[in-house]
Amino acid sequence: PPYFLLIGIPELENEQFWIAFPFCIMYATAVLGNIILLLTIKVEPSLHEPMYLFLAMLAFTDLVLSTSMLPKVLAIFWMGSREIGFISCLAQLFFIHTFSSVESGVLTAMALDRYIAICCPLWHSSILSVTVVVALGSLVLVRGVVLVSPACFLLHRMPFCHHRIISHSYCEHMAVVKLACGETRVNDIYGLFVAFVVAGPDTILISVSYAMILREVMRQSSTEARLKAFSTCASHVCVILTFYVPALFTFLTHRFGQSIPSYIQVMVANVYLLLPPTLNPIVYGVRTKKIRDKVV
């Protein structure tokens, strides 16, 4: 088809104009906060360490994620610009799903970094050199591109009916698949495959890392050392929760949540892509002393 029509938030079309204001504030906060974070890490040599390099990757990923969907969402809410070209829709879908995978991979790398820093501090600099950090970042980017590209090619080859209305505010994979006329079983199975390949190993590695960290911290006799270790990991845990909880809800409701109103599903899907980019620079800026000192 030459184009699709994005509804925005189903059943809340009359309220979308006002919903756009908090979305716009969150987007502006995300862009400003992540750019400040990137510039601070870039210009300050003392921040060229694995933890902050991973944080820079996270900030860049958040910028791409939020910018891939928010400008179009605001155009729908404020100007009624619902039309999106077929290729533009596939491009938006590609960037959103690819960089969601990248974000999950970067959060996993950050968990491994915390594990090595707390459990093997003497080996930290030798294990996680700058070369290794760059290699890990490149690996999660390649993983996202390789896994999401086939989904876009499958959609590009599918026949679509005259029904071109997407009941969503951006081009989400399953929302586009539902418009296809042909057999969509391959798309459904591949979507599940990508979700499990990305989220499964990442959540297992994060869980194991923090289990090992918790065991190591509980072995320490000093209360001050325990508090310092917990404080070091608290920011990362907050970021993980704000990303994975809405992501899990969005994934499950798209496939099994037919009884959940569509406007709730779409609102959570928007929050899932907008809340982490907004909160991440605030959480790390406030809780990380080195960054806070440099910014202030």
Among 82, 184, 97, 288, CA closest to 105: 97
Among 186, 178, 195, 190, CA closest to 248: 195
Q: Can you give the pLDDT at residue 213?
A: 84
Q: Can you give the pLDDT at residue 256?
A: 66
Domains: count for the chain: 1
CA atoms within 13 A on the CB side of 198: 31
In order along its 296 residues, the chain shows pLDDT tens digits of: 788 889 888 888 788 889 899 999 999 999 999 999 899 888 888 888 888 899 999 999 999 999 998 999 999 999 888 889 999 999 999 999 999 999 999 999 988 988 888 888 788 888 888 889 999 999 999 999 999 999 999 888 888 877 788 888 888 888 888 888 877 788 888 888 888 899 889 989 998 988 888 888 777 766 776 777 677 677 777 788 888 888 777 777 766 666 777 888 888 888 888 888 998 888 877 767 677 776 66
Are the CB atoms for 155 and 177 separated by under 8 Å? yes
What range does the domain containing 66 cover?
3-293
Cα–Cα distance between 104 and 271 in angstroms, integer? 16
Of the chain, the end-to-end C-alpha distance in Å amounts to 51
Kindly report the CATH number assigned to the domain that includes residue 279: 1.20.1070.10
